[in-house]
């Protein structure tokens, strides 16, 4: 039985522009909070902001650089569960001198928790 799967979507753009990458969740668990780190090639793209998606509408989002990763934390002050679908959109700026290429964005260091702070294991983490 699936517990939780995360997916970084795909976006494309040209040098000097911004793109928005979706982060999606599929779950049958009552997840009230999550933390994940996004890895990225810093010479090509730079994360600039994260906004909530519809499946996290009753939640709060915080994000920022932690070392070389971009950390996204989504939580519910009222322990409302996340629903399957779009958790967040993370904006990245593409370097002005970037050549056409694929820039892999990965997910690592995922922590999911229920309202009672019990850890929930992920069954799939898919890079975009």
Q: What is the pLDDT of residues 49-78, one digit of tens each?
A: 999 999 998 899 999 999 999 999 999 888
Q: Is 79 exposed, middle or buried (0-12, 13-18, 19+ CB in 10 A)?
A: middle
Q: What is the average pLDDT across 28-39?
A: 88
Contact 26, 2 (CB under 8 A): yes
**3-class secondary-structure state, position 54:** helix
**pLDDT confidence of residue 98:** 87
Which of 16-25, 29-38, 74-83 holds the top average pLDDT?
16-25
| pTM for the predicted model, two decimal places | 0.85
**pLDDT confidence of residue 24:** 92
**pLDDT confidence of residue 1:** 47
pLDDT averaged over the chain? 86
CA distances from 113 to 12, 16, 18, 34, 53 (A): 32, 37, 32, 6, 19
């Amino acid at each position: 039985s699936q517990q939780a799967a995360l997916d970084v979507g795909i976006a494309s753009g040209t040098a000097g522009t911004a793109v928005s990458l979706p982060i999606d969740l599929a779950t049958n668990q009552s997840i009230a909070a999550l933390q994940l780190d996004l890895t990225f090639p810093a010479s090509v793209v730079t994360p600039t902001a994260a906004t909530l998606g519809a499946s996290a509408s009753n939640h709060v989002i915080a994000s920022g650089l932690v070392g070389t990763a971009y950390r996204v934390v989504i939580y519910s002050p009222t322990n409302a569960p996340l629903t399957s679908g779009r958790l967040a959109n993370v904006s990245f700026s593409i370097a002005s001198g970037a050549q056409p290429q694929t820039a892999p964005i990965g997910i690592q260091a995922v922590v999911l928790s229920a309202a009672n702070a019990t850890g929930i294991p992920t069954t799939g983490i898919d890079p975009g």
